[in-house]
Structure 1
C-alpha cells in the first residue's frame, strides 16, 4: 500500500533565490528548450539546436553563453569499454584518523575517475576507477596495499556497466515561469511498481549485455576526448590549437573514431537544480528482486531531478546510484523507498550521505595511454602512497614537538 506521504511535491525556488544557483535567475521557456536540446543534439551542432528551439543562431550563441556562466556544463557520455577500460566502483572503510590520508591517496592515483567521502559515518570513502581491462588486477593490488598499511580496515569492489549521468531539465519537472520544480512521487512509485516501463529503451546502451573490452582509439582520440570532457563546446579549430593538430585531423578523429566507433554516445548537460546547502546527497547500492523491477526503477527515475547518476553492477540486479534529495523531501523519499521494499521491488538498499564539497571528478588519464595501449601505472601509485604517508608523518611529528 502506497503511503499517503507520497503525494506530488513542488519546490518553490523563488524562496531560495538569494542563495540558490544562478541558473534559476535566467531560466525561462527558451533557455529550458536550449538545455533540453543540448541533451538531444549536443553542443557541436548549432544549426540543429537553432532549428529545434526556433531561436536564431546569434541569439542562441548569446543565450548559451549566459547559461554556461551560471555553471551549467555539457559533457560527453562515453562507453569506456571501447577504449579497453573497465569501470570499477569501490567502497572503502577507513581506519580511525586515516580518512584524509586515504582520500588524498585515492584522489591522486592515475585511474581514479570520481572520489567522495561520506558524511555519516565519517569513515567511508567511495571511488570510481577506470582500469585497463587487460590489467584489471591493479586496483585490487592497490587496495591490498592500503589494507597492509592499515589505512583501511576493509573494502568492497563492484565491476559495473558504464555509468549514466545527466538530467533532462524539461518542462515536465520545471515550471520556468513560476520557478517551481515538480517531484511527482506517486507517479514515479506507480510507474516502478505497476507499469511496463521495463520494456522501454531509454538508455543509449544495453546494460543487460556484458561489455566487450577492446581498444578502438589512438593517442589523438584520447587527447581529444580529454579536451571535450573539460569543455565540450570547443570546435575543431579550438581543439586543434590546444592539441597542435589541424582542424581537419581533429574532425577525422572525432567523426570516424570517437563517434563512428561509439566511444562518445552523446552529450549530457550537467545541471544542479537544488542548492547544496538545502540538499542531501546520497550515494550507495540498491538491490532488486529481479530484472524487471530493476529496469522499471531505472527507466522511471533516470534523468529525473532526484537520480542524476547510476551504474548497473555486472552479473547482478543491483545498481550503484547517486540521489539528490531536497532536505524538505527526505521523509517522502524514505517513504518512497520503503514502499518499494514492501511491494517486493527493492530487496534492500544502503545509502550514505556524502560530503558534496569532497566530491572530486577527473577526466580520462591521457598520461597513461601510449600507442601500445594503457600502462599499469603501479610505479605512479607507489609514489603517491609514499608521498602522502610522508606528509602525514611530517604533520604528526610537528604536532608532538
Structure 2
C-alpha cells in the first residue's frame, strides 16, 4: 500500500457528523486492485461483459438476477480514476457520459496533477480535467482513445420514487474494483453539504452500501439508467448521490465552459418551526424564513431579514423576517424546495417573482438573482441558520 495519503480536507468534508464515513472518494491508492470488474482479465467473467443500458434485455440471461443483468449492462461504462495530487494519491470512480466524457465528483479530482483512468478490460488512459464545480461536487474529465465498448450511460428523465431499486457500482477502498451493492432509493430532495460550505440540493438518499472509493460512480436503476452520481456514504445505511437532474444541469456547462454559475439570492434561511411560526404570527408552520440578507447582495433592499429575537415556549427564535411561500408561481413549503428551484430552474441575471409573508400580509416582490460566490459570506448563516442561498 502506498504511504501517501489524501488530505484531511478531502477525506472528511461533506456531511460532517451526519455520516460516519464522510465523502466516499477518499480511498488511498493501493497496489493490489484485484481482478474483478474494472481491470479484470480478458478471460474473466467481468472482463468480457458485454452490452449497455440500452441493450441489456438483448444480451441478458433470463435466469440471472436483475442485479446481475444491470451489472453486465453497465460495468463497461464505469471506470476507476487514479489521481495524483501535490499531497498524495487516491482513487475514485466515474462513468462515461455523452460524447465520451467521464463524469465524477469534484472532490475526487480536486488539486489533481495527474489522472489515470482504467477501463473495465484493464486499459489505462491518461485523463485531463475539463471542468469542475465544487458547489455541486461534479467534475468532467476527458481521455484520448477511449475504448469503443465504453459507451455512455443514459440518465433518468424524472426523479425516481422512494422505494426504487438501485445499484451502486464503483471501486470501494480503491481495491475492490468493479463492485456492486444493491439497495433502494430511501429519500429524495435531500440537501447535503458541499466542500465550499454551500448546500447541494435535490440529492438522492440510498441504503446501498457506499464506501471510500465509490465517489463519482453511478447509482443506477434496474433499467441501467443513472439516477445519481455517488457523493458520500459510510454511515448507518445512509449514502447520497447527486441527482441526475442536477447532473444534466451542470455537466453540459462544465463541458462547454469548464465551470457552472449557480443562481444566488444572498440570504440565510431557516426552517419554519412551530416556534418560529408562533413568533411571526403564522397559524401553522409553512414556507421558508429569511433570517439574514447579505448587504449589497441580490436580495438587499428587496427581502427583509430578522428584526429581533424572542422567546417562545422557552426557545429563542428569530422574528420579523420575510417568509418565502412561493417562487416563480410555485408554492414553497421547505428550504429544499426553494434550493431545488434555484438550482434546477433559475440562472444568474434572471429576475424571479418571490411570494412572501411580511407582517402578516402576502405580497410579491421581484429579485434579480446574482452569481454565487466561491464561499458563503462569513457574516451570514452562522449558528442557527446555516442554509445560504
User: TM-score normalized by structure 1?
Assistant: 0.23
Structure 1 or 2: more helix by fraction: 1
Structure 1 or 2: more strand by fraction: 2
Higher relative contact order (CA 8 A, sep 6+): 1
User: TM-score normalized by structure 2?
Assistant: 0.24
